[in-house]
Structure 1
Amino acid sequence: MGQDKWETWASVLHGEATEPEGAHMDAESEKDLKAAHRIFNAREKVGLVMKLKSPDDAWTEIKGNLYSSHTRWIEFSKYAAIFLLSLLITGSAFWSINSRQKLDDQFASISAPNGQITNVTLFDGTNVWLNAGSTLTYKQSFNNDNREVILEGEALFNVTKNEKIPFIVHAGDAQVKVFGTQFNVKAYRNDMKIETVLIEGEVQFSSNQQSVMMNPGELVLFEKSSGNLVRNRVNTEEYTSWKGGKIYFNNETLHSLAQQLERWYEVKISFQDERIKSFRFSGVINKERSLEYTLNIIEEINKIKFEFNQDYVLVKEK
């Protein structure tokens, strides 16, 4: 607002303005009221609690006294009027900027509860499948100046290409950086490893001050206990088939198998003897089959048996 406009407002408040000036400022006040509405509504959307009146009440209170020829403004000088209006607009601008900063610092998350698989498309067009028991977290400012997410669990990413802004997945002690590609990341908190399988494109896998560029068809595995990186050629279908309800196990421990069954079937599995956890299993688990059917198949292959008690399963050696 220019200095002339401030001076005219002061004249109106003093009752010294001409009729044309008063009519002009009445029209201007309507414009300012609309602006105040926009700022007030923006603050409401981000959940800020204002200690001011609503824009309607504030402006009605001011305008109600503008053109009354019988009202005398003895208590208010010209500069008091200027201060009142500048405080309203400057304060609104401050709260609007502060609201944007608070919004940028907030996080949102998407989860796939145990027993479910979730599919979501992020703001930049990136498509993500979340396996059971997984959570994806990102800033509210995602897609403004960064494309960074935090993964706990397992997810299959199909990243929208953007050469200027890389897509970064933070997964425990590992980080995967891409510009546009398809890959799978598995990083459950209780797992002893973090693994990434590249389906197409190119990604940079980093962990423990080590970094490797991956090619399609490769698996990079970070061992949490030793801090080593292991790199192998694999059949990517075996690492992404969980999206369709199947999981391949290739000489996996029963402990690792049990963790996956817990996430898929919402059941708690315990071992009578810690030694049983190291038994190995190879095969395919189909989520369309019942838990009882799946465990019966595992019993036939291994020298173990399962005891059921509602949502609890105990693993014993035969």
Structure 2
Amino acid sequence: MNNQTDIDIVVRYLEDPENELLKQQLNEWIQQDPGHLDIFLDMKAMWQGDPLPAPSAFDTAGKWEELSTRLDKAAVPAVTAPASTRVIKMNRRYWWAAAAVLVIAGTWTLMGPGGYKTFATAQTQDSLRLPDGSMLYLNANTSVRYARSFGKDNRIVKIDKGEAFFDVKPNETLPFIVNAPEVEVQVLGTAFNVKAANTGVKVFVQSGKVSAAYRGTEKKVILTPDMEASLKLHGSTIDTHVHKKNNNILAWKTRTLTFDEAPLNEVAEALEDFYHVQVHISNPQLADQKLLATFPNMALDEVLDIMRKTLRINITHKNDLVDIY
């Protein structure tokens, strides 16, 4: 790979993740050794903003010596730790690499500000298993965090932005709480979706029962399966809606859009949310048009082409704008 170091391949990709050549180089490097994937994931987590805490008690000098040896082998300028200080002058790119090596050695833990572990996604989705066994699925452009004591004396997850689906492990003695901007969701064991947008928070329950409330107030609502609550930022009212079984709220997770005689305005909203585009219906006479179709993980243009032929309507798609007329 043009004599690039292993570490440099990862760093170059993190600096320009949309570069197809760098994606290919990273993929080839990961395929060379199963351990490379772990290194990449740890470096990615730190690159997205998780700071390193003070080192725990371990042989710091020895680890720096080990790191220097590994960097030497990778043709990276050697880094040594002076005997009188722990301040290491390193290029920013290789500082991230050094931190990743120490993480792989099991001597550091990644904790965000205030003792939180932070997870963030960019343009892709991801999932993780929480310490209590609950599963968390993150939509693109989502940031969540939980305390280092999670599962011991609390089960609190903070969703700072984006959308996440929670499949919660039952524990009657330790409620599971999700804190979103100005909103608190509490459950004992269930599966539900939380979407934190600029205008407010939406909570949808797939199974079980949850309460959604404005934090610090008595204003709350109890949600059961197929119910959704909308709580506006700086608001005081909670709007609820009962959805049909085949709604598309969780389409981002299932990767399937399903429309059962859905009106065109509802279809437009689902397309906007799923494909992150703006859909405009410029012909008001199309409001009564209804769509019966299922789109399993299909490209937007394929979906639009089927809609065009099925409903016999005109559709144009340019950049992030879709016009139906």
Matched, 1:161 2:174: no
Decide whether aligned partners of structure 1 residues 41 and 279 sit closer, same or farther in structure 2, where only a CA change above 3 A counts: farther
Per the alignment, residue 194 of structure 1 pairs with 201
The answer to whether the Cα contact below 8 Å between 1:248 and 1:282 also exists between their aligned partners in 2 is no
Superposed displacement of residue 136, structure 1: 2.3
The answer to whether the Cα contact below 8 Å between 1:104 and 1:140 also exists between their aligned partners in 2 is no
- For residue 39 of structure 1, the aligned residue among 57, 62, 87 is 57
Superposed displacement of residue 118, structure 1: 2.0
Per the alignment, residue 273 of structure 2 pairs with 260
Matched, 1:307 2:313: no
Decide whether aligned partners of structure 1 residues 186 and 172 sit closer, same or farther in structure 2, where only a CA change above 3 A counts: same
Superposed displacement of residue 159, structure 1: 0.9
Per the alignment, residue 243 of structure 1 pairs with 253
Per the alignment, residue 291 of structure 1 pairs with 300
Looking at structure 2, the residues matched to 39 and 112 of structure 1 have their Cα atoms a distance apart, in angstroms, of: 32
- For residue 127 of structure 1, the aligned residue among 109, 122, 135 is 135
Q: Deviations over 1:273-317 (max 9, x none)?
A: 8x9xx9998666635212211122444549653233xxx233345
The answer to whether the Cα contact below 8 Å between 1:110 and 1:136 also exists between their aligned partners in 2 is yes
DSSP 3-state at the match of 2:250: helix
The answer to whether the Cα contact below 8 Å between 2:252 and 2:274 also exists between their aligned partners in 1 is no
Looking at structure 2, the residues matched to 254 and 292 of structure 1 have their Cα atoms a distance apart, in angstroms, of: 15
The answer to whether the Cα contact below 8 Å between 1:103 and 1:141 also exists between their aligned partners in 2 is no
- Unaligned 5+ runs, structure 2: 1-55, 64-80, 86-107
Decide whether aligned partners of structure 1 residues 233 and 298 sit closer, same or farther in structure 2, where only a CA change above 3 A counts: same
Decide whether aligned partners of structure 1 residues 104 and 242 sit closer, same or farther in structure 2, where only a CA change above 3 A counts: closer
Decide whether aligned partners of structure 1 residues 225 and 287 sit closer, same or farther in structure 2, where only a CA change above 3 A counts: farther
- Aligned pair count reads 223
Q: Which has the higher helix share?
A: 1
The answer to whether the Cα contact below 8 Å between 1:254 and 1:280 also exists between their aligned partners in 2 is no
Looking at structure 2, the residues matched to 281 and 139 of structure 1 have their Cα atoms a distance apart, in angstroms, of: 47
Per the alignment, residue 141 of structure 1 pairs with 149
The answer to whether the Cα contact below 8 Å between 2:272 and 2:279 also exists between their aligned partners in 1 is no
Looking at structure 1, the residues matched to 292 and 233 of structure 2 have their Cα atoms a distance apart, in angstroms, of: 25
- Indicate the structure whose relative CO is greater, using CA pairs within 8 Å and at least 6 residues apart: 1
The answer to whether the Cα contact below 8 Å between 1:197 and 1:217 also exists between their aligned partners in 2 is yes
Cα RMSD after superposing both structures: 4.4
Looking at structure 2, the residues matched to 280 and 132 of structure 1 have their Cα atoms a distance apart, in angstroms, of: 31
Superposed displacement of residue 169, structure 1: 0.9
Looking at structure 1, the residues matched to 267 and 234 of structure 2 have their Cα atoms a distance apart, in angstroms, of: 19
Match of 2:250, as an amino acid?
T
Report 1:1-318 matches (<5 A).
39-41=57-59, 105-114=114-123, 116-151=124-159, 152-187=161-196, 189-190=197-198, 192-207=199-214, 209=217, 210-224=219-233, 227-236=236-245, 238=247, 239-248=249-258, 251=263, 252=265, 256-263=269-276, 269=278, 286=295, 288-299=297-308, 301=311, 305-308=315-318, 312-316=319-323, 318=325
User: Normalising to structure 1: TM-score of the pair?
Assistant: 0.54
The answer to whether the Cα contact below 8 Å between 2:155 and 2:176 also exists between their aligned partners in 1 is yes
Looking at structure 2, the residues matched to 270 and 231 of structure 1 have their Cα atoms a distance apart, in angstroms, of: 25
Match of 1:39, as an amino acid?
A
Looking at structure 2, the residues matched to 156 and 253 of structure 1 have their Cα atoms a distance apart, in angstroms, of: 22
Decide whether aligned partners of structure 1 residues 317 and 231 sit closer, same or farther in structure 2, where only a CA change above 3 A counts: closer
Per the alignment, residue 84 of structure 1 pairs with none
DSSP 3-state at the match of 1:293: helix
Looking at structure 2, the residues matched to 119 and 284 of structure 1 have their Cα atoms a distance apart, in angstroms, of: 28
Superposed displacement of residue 242, structure 1: 3.8
Superposed displacement of residue 177, structure 1: 0.7
- Unaligned 5+ runs, structure 1: 1-37, 55-98
Match of 1:144, as an amino acid?
K
Superposed displacement of residue 235, structure 1: 3.5
Q: Deviations over 1:232-278 (max 9, x none)?
A: 33345533354221134655557744542444xxxx658698x9xx9
Looking at structure 2, the residues matched to 165 and 198 of structure 1 have their Cα atoms a distance apart, in angstroms, of: 19
The answer to whether the Cα contact below 8 Å between 1:247 and 1:285 also exists between their aligned partners in 2 is yes
DSSP 3-state at the match of 1:39: coil
The answer to whether the Cα contact below 8 Å between 2:269 and 2:279 also exists between their aligned partners in 1 is no
Decide whether aligned partners of structure 1 residues 231 and 103 sit closer, same or farther in structure 2, where only a CA change above 3 A counts: closer
Q: Is the radius of gyration larger for structure 1 or structure 2? A: 1
Looking at structure 1, the residues matched to 154 and 83 of structure 2 have their Cα atoms a distance apart, in angstroms, of: 35
Q: Deviations over 1:8-31 (max 9, x none)?
A: xxxxxxxxxxxxxxxxxxxxxxxx
Superposed displacement of residue 176, structure 1: 0.6
Decide whether aligned partners of structure 1 residues 41 and 261 sit closer, same or farther in structure 2, where only a CA change above 3 A counts: same
